[in-house]
Amino acid sequence: MKLAKLAGATLAICLFFGYSDSMYAAALAAAPANEQDNLPFTAPGPNYRGALPYAEVLIDAGHGGIDGGTFHEDVLEKHINLAVSKKLHARLQQLGVSSVLNRSDDYALSDDNRWLGSRSRHQRDLSQRTELTQEIHTGLLVSLHVNWSKRSAAHGPVVLHQKNRGESALLALCIQDALNQQQKTNELPRAGSPFYLLNTVKQPAVIVEMGFISNEADRRMLTSDKGQDKLAEAIASGVRQYKLFFR
């Protein structure tokens, strides 16, 4: 959280005064050694001989198939995640950021699991998501989700990052900031330590909880074509902002 605050302050300064390489370098230098181990993630060199081409961003459309995620009446999270993921993919393309989607339709990733002989479908699903980040060579993982609360007033976006990982915290901050502007909220990103995906993925990864399905206004945004466009636009601009730090 210390680093998140530090990166937050740095980003705020950078946004206010304009981008500066040295400011971010100073923030990284101030991070404890174990946090620097993973920094910075770089694209593979010319000798990279992976089976698949390199993409800068792996978009994880959360849930799918038998796993609908959270829901409100007949509105299922998995459909929202997929719709925004496709729009995000298109938007990133427009911005010149290469990306791949880990599912392009409504199916569970566990149906295609080749790595873990677990009987738990949920576990196979999660391991598949993690393994995909290793098999498809990507720089970042952005996992899209929808939140739920028993308080119908709870609303707004929350971005979760890997604990003690500076790049992940910075990516979360950039996406959170863009979503806050889009939704006129003032949330801060958080460390999502209990999340298997965040704990096991090697590259900088974030979980984007785009809004609350349990809140009427959020639900309207999450399910409308226009609202999904705006979400994708905001997330893409957050990713782009993050990438500016590593130019």
Tell me the Ramachandran region of residue 20: left when phi exceeds 0, alpha when psi lies from -120 to 50, beta otherwise.
beta
Residue numbers of the site for Zn ion (CB under 5 A)?
62, 69, 145
C-beta of 148 vs 246, nearer to Zn ion: 148
Per the CB < 8 A criterion, the answer to whether 85 and 59 are in contact is yes
CB of 243 to Zn ion, least distance (A): 25
Structure tokens at 110: 């566990």
| Number of CB atoms found within 10 A of residue 173's CB | 25
Distance CA 23, CA 229 (A): 33
C-beta of 54 vs 148, nearer to Zn ion: 148
C-beta of 81 vs 183, nearer to Zn ion: 81
CB of 190 to Zn ion, least distance (A): 15
CB of 184 to Zn ion, least distance (A): 23
C-beta of 55 vs 158, nearer to Zn ion: 158
Residue whose structure tokens are 């902002």 = 241
C-beta of 72 vs 145, nearer to Zn ion: 145
Report the residue closest to Zn ion, judged by CB.
145
Helix (H, G, I), strand (E, B) or coil at 48: coil
CB of 195 to Zn ion, least distance (A): 10
Peptide bond into 189 cis (omega under 30): no
* Angle at 92 (CA atoms; ends 91, 96), nearest 5 degrees: 120
Q: Which residues pair with 57 in a beta bridge?
A: 99, 140
CB of 156 to Zn ion, least distance (A): 16
Per the CB < 8 A criterion, the answer to whether 217 and 224 are in contact is no
Per the CB < 8 A criterion, the answer to whether 98 and 175 are in contact is no
Which of 57-68 are b and which e, b meaning 16 or more Cβ less than 10 Å from the residue's Cβ?
A: bbbbbbbbbebe
CB of 224 to Zn ion, least distance (A): 19
CB of 144 to Zn ion, least distance (A): 8
Distance CA 139, CA 192 (A): 19
C-beta of 62 vs 211, nearer to Zn ion: 62
C-beta of 6 vs 88, nearer to Zn ion: 88
